[in-house]
Amino acid sequence: MPTQSRSIPRIFDPHIHMTSRTTDDYAAMYQAGVRALVEPSFWLGQPRTSPATFYDYFDSLLGWEPFRAAQYGIVHHCTLALNPKEANDPRCTPVLEELPRYLLKDGVVAVGEIGYDSMTPAEDTALAAQLELALVHELPALVHTPHRDKAAGLARTLDVLRESKLPPERVVLDHLNETTVGPAADSGCWLGFSIYPDTKMDPDRMVRILRVHGTERVLVNSAADWGRSDPLKTRHVAEAMLAAGFDEDDVDRVLWRNPVAFYGQSGRLRLDAVPAGERLFAGNSILRGGE
Amino acid sequence: MLSPLASLRAGLERRLKPEGRAWLRQALSEATDVTEPAGPAGLPRWELHFVTAGRRCGPAPHTEGGAPDPVDAARVLILHAAAPGTDALVRLYGKGSADERRAVLLALPHLDPPPRTARALSLVEDALRTNDTRLVAAALGPYAAAHLDAHQWRQGVLKCLFTGVPTAAVAGLEHRAAGDDELARMLEDYARERTAAGRTVPEDLAYVLRLARFEESRDTPHPPGPHRPGPDPSVPDPSGHPPPAAPHRRSQSRSQPRPPESPPQSPRSPQPRSQSPQPRSPES
Ligand SMILES: [Zn+2]
């Protein structure tokens, strides 16, 4: 392993689809400082045609993928849900009846990704039902904001959230950008930003948002999946923050303590597997790379 | 002297924090309560405790080396107390996380009444098909030692060597491997393949081979020192293993392949062990 001469941040990626990533990615993420992550269940690119394929997918997020992550020193948790896109397919919606049993599992730290894709009545139903599931399972909710018609989608999401009894501090609104961060912040929800190579956010724009809105309730993720994406974007944001004058404590807050606080509301985060004494950025002792 | 489960419980209680201990006692006392479903999924109470054990009785400080994982132990105790029928057990495994599945496998030899053998074996076989080394290790416990057929058991031992599971995890290894010529052949072929590729031979292989060739007394303790799995369990990675153990002498003869034969000084077994599953006492 090449020896790095400078300290590296400890990173918790709160939204990444490792099912679509390789073992090289796991190794590179560990080298970059990633020690924990949350994998939300989502659309796999190829439409599903039956509920049973969801259960195999959920089983993978509760079995094989945590095992794979552990081989590379990374703690894996997941969020489970019927995603907004497939909430429109009646062949898939029976998943909602099986979700209560899955949401009990130890590795599940939120209900998600839920939210809107095309803003249909079926999506209204699935979103409201799954916010209710988060409430009764005492879990947070990871709410995806739509890629198309984002501002209107966020407004409608906030309406549904107000009607649910789920308190805003139990909700993260994800894939935010410059145009949606204002109303999202006003709602009291956590603010999620996905950093992508071409679309969504980039590291420098992320830093500008952090300058204006501060680091409170902000989660930064790579949302890396089967599309053009980069699992090291969290680290790139850390670098951009330091270059812009944020200090190591700010970086640790955004990239470690904030996701721990948000998902910690589930009572199910197991970070004891992160080696004791390995503080990376946090505190006074700073682990050097190249161990 | 305590029964295995009584000492499992005593050891677990010592390692739990007070709130974990209180939860365990409640879970065990409610294990036979079938009056009303509990929790947001409406499960039987014992099943809710079984599923949520990971966040109720962990993490305990890992002070005792070699002690069973506390969550595994709690789940095995709950299953034993609840005594689910075979149908419930199969459902629990099928709808379980990897951790829950492992607990079902670990509980198999302890259940009273015992599960129906064919269906319980289907769970063992399912686990042996995975590449999750913790499932593979749990599958090769005393239940497999007693019931798994010879072919699948040998494949399981070989899979341990492939994926870096210490063969110390294989229950009844000394007994079942002794005099197993077919296992010896498979091990020698594997060692030859590794050596031909310029790779190290897993250090446990020589020991199991001596057992299979009757060169190792059944009373000889298993060599200590588990080796950790390599980074990718699906690929045998020499870097994941400690310095190579001395390969079996036959594995070094790459230039002149010969049919398997016993080394000259090895006393050949006069009566090789039967290849069929051997009856065991179920209380193992
Ligand atoms: Zn996503």
pLDDT at B65: 57
Beta-carbon separation of A270 and B98 below 8 A: no
Amino acid at A139: L
Nearest to B233 among A63, A71, A101 (CB): A71
CA distances (Å), A39 to each of A23, B232, B262, in order? 15, 20, 52
Q: Which helix (H) or strand (E) holds A143?
A: strand A141-144
Distance A198 CA to ligand 1 centre (A): 16
Cβ of A59 within 8 Å of Cβ of B97? The answer is yes
The single-letter code of the amino acid at B151 is: H
The model's confidence at residue B233, banded by pLDDT at 50, 70 and 90, is: very low
Q: Does A59 touch chain B (CB under 8 A)?
A: yes
pLDDT value for B3: 81
Q: Do B51 and A100 touch (CB under 8 A)?
A: no
Taking the centre of ligand 1 as the mean of its atom positions, its distance from the CA of residue A62, in whole angstroms, is 17
Residue type, A90: P
Give the tokens for residue A283. Answer: 């505190």
Q: What is the pLDDT of residue A123?
A: 97
Alpha helices of chain B — where are they, by DSSP H?
Answer: 4-15, 18-29, 45-56, 70-82, 86-94, 98-107, 117-129, 133-139, 142-147, 150-163, 173-177, 181-196, 203-212
B19, B55, B71, B132, best to mutate vs chain A, most A CBs in 10 Å: B55
> Is residue B203 over pLDDT 50?
yes
Q: How far apart are CA A229 and CA A201, in angstroms?
A: 11
pLDDT-wise least confident of B1-10, B153-162, B221-230: B221-230
Closest to B161 (Cα-Cα) out of B202, B130, B133 = B202
Angular region, A285: left φ>0, alpha ψ -120 to 50, beta rest:
beta
Backbone angles phi, psi at A267, to 5 degrees: 70, 10
DSSP A277: T
Distance CA A185, CA B182 (A): 67
A100/B40 CB distance under 8 A? yes
Residue B104 CA, chain-centre distance (Å), reads 12
Distance CA B214, CA B200 (A): 24
CB pair distance less than 8 Å for B40 and A104: yes
User: Could B41 and A270 be called an inter-chain contact, meaning their C-beta atoms sit closer than 8 Å?
Assistant: no
Q: Is B242 exposed, middle or buried (0-12, 13-18, 19+ CB in 10 A)?
A: exposed
CB A279 within 8 A of CB A248: no
| CA B167 from centroid of its chain's CA atoms | 9
Amino acid B258: pLDDT: 35
- Fold annotation for A7-269: TIM Barrel (3.20.20)
Partner B contacted by A268 (CB < 8 A): yes
Q: Which residues in chain B have their CB less than 8 angstroms from residue A101's CB? A: 41, 43, 95
Tokens encoding A16: 């990444």
Beta bridge partners of A194: A221
Report ipTM (2 d.p.).
0.91
Substitution target in A41, A65, A101, A132 with the highest count of B β-carbons within 10 Å is A101
Q: What is the per-residue pLDDT for A201?
A: 86
Res B44: pLDDT:
92
Domain boundaries, chain A: 7-269
In this complex, is the C-beta atom of B101 within 8 Å of any C-beta atom belonging to chain A? yes
The answer to which of B31-45, B103-117, B144-158, B178-192 has the lowest mean pLDDT is: B31-45
Q: Is A106 within 8 Å of chain B by CB?
A: yes
Report pTM: 0.84
Is the CB of A103 less than 8 angstroms away from the CB of B54? no
Q: For B217-241, b where at least 16 C-beta lie within 10 A, e where not — what string?
A: eeeeebeeeeeebbbbbeebeeebb
Structure confidence at residue A18 (pLDDT):
98
Whole-number pLDDT of residue B59: 56
SS3 A78: strand
Q: From the list B52, B131, B229, which residue is nearest A104 (CB)?
A: B52
In angstroms, the separation between the Cα of residue A182 and the nearest Cα of chain B is: 35
Q: Which residues contact A163 (CB under 8 A, 6 or more apart)?
A: A128
Report, as ranges of residue numbers, the positions in chain A whose pLDDT lies below 70.
Answer: 1-6, 275-291
Q: Which of B59, B98, B233 is the closest to A272 by Cβ?
A: B59
Q: Is B231 an 8 Å CB contact of chain A?
A: yes
| Distance of CA A39 from the midpoint of ligand 1 (Å) | 8
What's the whole-number mean pLDDT along residues B40-45? 91
Please list the alpha-helical segments (H only) found in B83-116: 86-94, 98-107
Span from the CA of A17 to the centroid of ligand 1 (angstroms): 7
Distance CA A164, CA A181 (A): 21
Q: Which of A77, A106, A271 to mutate to test the interface with B (most CBs of B within 10 A)?
A: A106
Per-residue pLDDT reduced to its tens digit, B67-90: 788 999 999 999 999 999 999 999
Q: By the 8 A CB rule, do B204 and B160 touch?
A: yes
3-state helix, strand, coil in chain B (%, to 5): 55, 0, 45
- Which pLDDT score, from 0 to 100, does residue B228 have? 41
pLDDT of residue B32: 84
Is the pLDDT at B276 greater than 60, yes or no? no
Nearest one of A57, A114, A111 to A85, comparing CA atoms: A114
Statement: residue B282 has pLDDT above 50: no
CB contact under 8 Å between A71 and B231, yes or no, is yes
- Residues of A whose CB is below 8 A from B48: 104
Q: What is the pLDDT of residue A283?
A: 42
CA distance A274 to A270: 9
With beta carbons under 8 A apart, name residues in chain B contacting A63: 97-98, 101, 132
